[in-house]
Structure formats: structure tokens, C-alpha cells
Amino acid sequence: MHIVLVEPEIPGNTGNIARLCAATGCELHLVKPLGFSIEDKYLKRAGLDYWHLVSVHVHENFAEVLQLYPGHNFYFNTTKARKRHSDIVYQADDLLVFGKETAGLPQQLLNKYPDNCVRIPMIEDARSLNLSNSVAVAVYEALRQQEFPGLR
């Protein structure tokens, strides 16, 4: 699986997601602009000593990610979707895409791929979950469906 963070802003969230990727074997894709340096101490602290287990790719823009993975399934995680994240049947090389903490994914991207937009259920008055929590929920649902390949 691939986790794509589009313009992440908070180093601690990205560090937590990197640690999740290390523990699950997912590849991490960071789409610029980033709200921090990859050398950021908070990013590294959140990932603890797992960085050697993470395959991290940094992309100039989202179009670059699309170009590198033609024919792959992209699922755009947003609070604005009708479909739940658990309604999807995930494949091993799917890309789970998440937006920045303050604004989510760009509306133009959501408009371009409406059938691939998914949401995590929550009460109506809740605006959203923390980014690293959302990624964990989505990743573990996708891996559960595949019977946790390579995990013990």
C-alpha cells in the first residue's frame, strides 16, 4: 500500500504516519510544498527509531504521483465523500491520499475523482479526525481486507 500526504503541515503527524508505514510496510509519499523540513526534529522524534524501515518518496506535486502510478487505484480521503472508507475493496498497490491538516485535499482534486472519494464515519458535529489517526484507520481497514499481508 501507498500513503500519500498532499502538502502536510505538521511534522509530528507526518512522523507518526512514517512510524505507521514502518510498522505496516506501506510506502510514504510526501507531496510538496511541505510545512516543515524533512530534517525537522519533531518529525524525526515522532518516527522514533523506525526511519530505516520506511520507504519515503518526496514529490514536487500531485501530478507527479499520478504519472508515476498509472493504472493504480487512488482513494481520496475527505470528510466530504458519500462513500465510507470501508465500502472500498482495496488492492495491495492502492494509494490512499490525504490532504493537509488545515484544509484537506484541494476541491479540484475531489471534483476530478468523485467516485474515488471516501470518508471515515463520525458524528455530524465533528469536523474531522487528526491526520495521523485518519491514516491509521484507513490503512488498517485496507490491510484487514487483505488479511494483513506480511504482518504477524
Extents of the domains making up the chain = 2-145
Instruction: Label residue 63 by pLDDT band (50, 70, 90).
Output: very high
Q: Is 132 annotated as a binding residue?
A: no
The pLDDT score that the predictor gives to residue 110 is 97
**Of 35 and 29, the one with more pLDDT:** 29
Alpha-carbon span 14 to 22, nearest angstrom: 12
Percent of residues, the chain, with pLDDT higher than 90: 84
Instruction: Label residue 31 by pLDDT band (50, 70, 90).
Output: very high
Q: How far is CA 44 from CA 113, 115, 136, 143, in A?
A: 33, 35, 18, 25
Task: Report the pLDDT averaged over residues 68-83.
Answer: 97
Instruction: Label residue 61 by pLDDT band (50, 70, 90).
Output: very high
Q: Is 17 annotated as a binding residue?
A: no
Instruction: Label residue 50 by pLDDT band (50, 70, 90).
Output: confident
**Of 45 and 23, the one with more pLDDT:** 23
**Of 75 and 53, the one with more pLDDT:** 75
Instruction: Label residue 23 by pLDDT band (50, 70, 90).
Output: very high
Instruction: Label residue 45 by pLDDT band (50, 70, 90).
Output: low
The pLDDT score that the predictor gives to residue 44 is 67
Q: Is 88 annotated as a binding residue?
A: no
Q: What is the mean pLDDT of the chain?
A: 93
Quickly count: other Cβ atoms within 10 Å of residue 63's Cβ: 10
Fold of 2-145: Alpha/beta knot (3.40.1280)
